[in-house]
């Protein structure tokens, strides 16, 4: 396994306030984000959080892209 490859994708486990904040920060820096959270409406809540955070991230100069690059959501229920 090579450890000198660039990181392009970040995984977030849990999309509450802290996980959603990390997701927004990584998206702002141009990373692809894959998130998972078994909570009801977690995917919709994450999307809403990122959308609402985007103007603030722009204001403080963290935006590497005009729109979030890629946010995926994975869930598995047994």
CA distances from 66 to 13, 14, 32, 69 (A): 25, 25, 14, 9
Are 28 and 63 within 8 A, CB to CB? yes
pLDDT digit string, tens, across residues 23-75: 999 998 888 899 999 999 999 999 999 999 988 988 888 876 666 666 788 76
Radius of gyration of the CA atoms of the chain, in A: 13
Question: What pTM did the predictor assign?
Answer: 0.81
What distance in Å separates the CA atoms of residue 24 and residue 22, rounded to the nearest whole number? 5
The whole-number pLDDT of residue 68 equals 61
């Amino acid at each position: 396994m090579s450890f000198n490859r660039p990181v392009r994708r970040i995984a977030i486990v849990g999309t509450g306030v802290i996980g959603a904040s990390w997701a927004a920060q990584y998206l702002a820096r141009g990373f692809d984000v894959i998130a998972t959270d078994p909570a009801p409406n977690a995917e919709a809540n994450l999307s809403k959080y990122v959308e609402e955070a985007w103007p603030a991230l722009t204001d403080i100069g963290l935006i590497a892209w005009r729109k979030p690059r890629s946010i995926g959501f994975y869930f598995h229920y047994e």
